[in-house]
Amino acid sequence: MTDPEATDSLIVLVLFATVLLRLLLVGLVVWALIPRRRTCPQCSEITSPVMAPLALRLLLLERRWCMSCGWDGVARKSPRAAGASRPASTIPTASLVLLTAALLFSACRPAEDRVARMFASSANWVDLTHSFDEHTIYWPTAEPFKLEMVSEGMTPGGYYYSAANFAAAEHGGTHIDAPVHFAKGRHTTDQIPVTQLIGAAVVVDVAAKVTSNPDYRVVAADLQEFEARHGRIADGTIVLFRTGWGSRWPERKAYLGTETTGAAAVPQLHFPGIDSTAARWLVAERKVDAIGIDTPSIDYGQSSTFDVHQILFAADIPAFENVANLDQLPETGAFVVALPMKIAGGTGGPLRIVAAIP
């Protein structure tokens, strides 16, 4: 004779398993219907990944944000580049059960909240600019930074007043190289579209390779290795190269390789840079808005032909040099604002560059 209590328990267990299975199936269907989204569904601009709740990350989902219009939503992570190791395919059942709630929670936050949070806290911002003063490092053939106080002190009217004149070469300290610097007819400093100077950034880290070779040049393979870990570099990205060289600032000999100034110093320069293969790859295979590096030049110190300048600038891709504090940025997820002094007809100029980390 069948035990009634055992039968009731079995029925409850079957019902529970049925509900759980249905939730699992619904979760899988919902996950499959979520698109892989690199562009904004509202304005078609490139979106960037931002920090997502743990439940989403466990489900191989990501939150993406459009800096142009503020759209904020969920997307499936794009496939990794060829040769990359794939994450485990097992998806925790508990996370699938929570999928619907997680998606609703993620989608209900107004886009304005994310923008407000970014601008509300100074902790989210990293200053990538070296201060300009008597210690600022300039190219050996350039004039150094000069600050001349014109007035400083109390006035006859009883209030304090100060003012100064400054003089500086375009290419020194944290600065921008406009494409016209090495490419006739390309953008001057004031002609560079603001949209190329503000946007999502990635950081390609080659510091470990520079340790054993101070003349190291970032090659195309370094960029491909980055994509194997993080996925394709999206159109409109600002690509920053972290060599670790910025830790030597402002020690002139350690940073440039020489304390000599003038034309005689140029052959003595030693610091890492970018290889022409990487420059050509960025121009031919990707559509980046700008690049930056934590060294005196995008070409390595011993370059005599400045091929990287020529290749990138011919494609109207500006460069940021002597960028500070790149060690404080994640490899993906930062947003950069890089605004130079707007010099009409300029070939470069002082740059204030900062990064926001959502």
* pLDDT tens digits along 145-189: 999 999 999 999 999 999 999 999 999 999 999 999 999 999 999
Are residue 173 and residue 259 in the same domain, yes or no?
A: yes
pLDDT at 1: 53
Q: Is residue 14 part of a domain?
A: no
Phi/psi at 355 (nearest 5 deg)?
-135, 140
pLDDT at 87: 40
Q: What is the mean pLDDT of the chain?
A: 85
Are residue 233 and residue 92 in the same domain, yes or no?
A: no
Are residue 96 and residue 184 in the same domain, yes or no?
A: no
In CATH, what number is assigned to the domain containing residue 266? 3.50.30.50
Q: Is residue 184 part of a domain?
A: yes
* pLDDT tens digits along 308-346: 999 999 999 999 999 999 999 999 999 999 999 999 999
Are residue 64 and residue 177 in the same domain, yes or no?
A: no
Q: Is residue 166 part of a domain?
A: yes
Are residue 162 and residue 257 in the same domain, yes or no?
A: yes
Q: Report whether 97 contacts 210 (CB < 8 A).
A: no
DSSP string, 171-234: SBSSEEE-GGGTSTTS--GGGS-GGGTEEEEEEEE-HHHHHT-TT-EE-HHHHHHHHHHH-PPP
pLDDT at 36: 64
Are residue 75 and residue 192 in the same domain, yes or no?
A: no
**Neighbouring residues of 264: CB distance < 8 A, sequence distance ≥ 6:** none
Are residue 105 and residue 48 in the same domain, yes or no?
A: yes
Q: What percentage of the chain has pLDDT greater than the value 70?
A: 74
Q: Report whether 337 contacts 356 (CB < 8 A).
A: yes
Which residue shows structure tokens 């000999």? Answer: 253
Query: What is the Cα–Cα distance from 163 to 147, expressed in whole angstroms?
Result: 10
Q: Give the pairing type, strands 238-242 and 198-205.
A: parallel
Domain count, the chain: 2
Q: Report whether 288 contacts 239 (CB < 8 A).
A: yes
Q: Is residue 338 part of a domain?
A: yes
Are residue 284 and residue 345 in the same domain, yes or no?
A: yes
Helices and strands (DSSP H and E) totals, the chain = 10, 15
Are residue 212 and residue 248 in the same domain, yes or no?
A: yes
Q: Is residue 268 part of a domain?
A: yes
Are residue 82 and residue 172 in the same domain, yes or no?
A: no
What are the Cα distances from residue 150, in Å, to 155, 164, 200?
13, 5, 41
* Helical residues (DSSP H) of the chain, grouped into ranges: 4-33, 54-58, 93-97, 99-107, 111-120, 207-211, 220-230, 252-256, 276-285, 307-314
SS3 160: strand
Q: Is residue 254 part of a domain?
A: yes
Q: Which of the listed residues 109, 140, 158 is the one where a domain comes to its end?
A: 109
| Ranges of the chain whose pLDDT falls below 50 | 80-97, 100, 103-104, 106-108, 111
Q: Is residue 26 part of a domain?
A: no
Q: Is residue 162 part of a domain?
A: yes
Are residue 158 and residue 88 in the same domain, yes or no?
A: no
Q: Which of the listed residues 63, 78, 109 is the one where a domain comes to its end?
A: 109
Are residue 283 and residue 334 in the same domain, yes or no?
A: yes
Range of the domain at 72: 35-109
pLDDT at 119: 62
Q: Which of the listed residues 82, 109, 136 is the one where a domain comes to its end?
A: 109
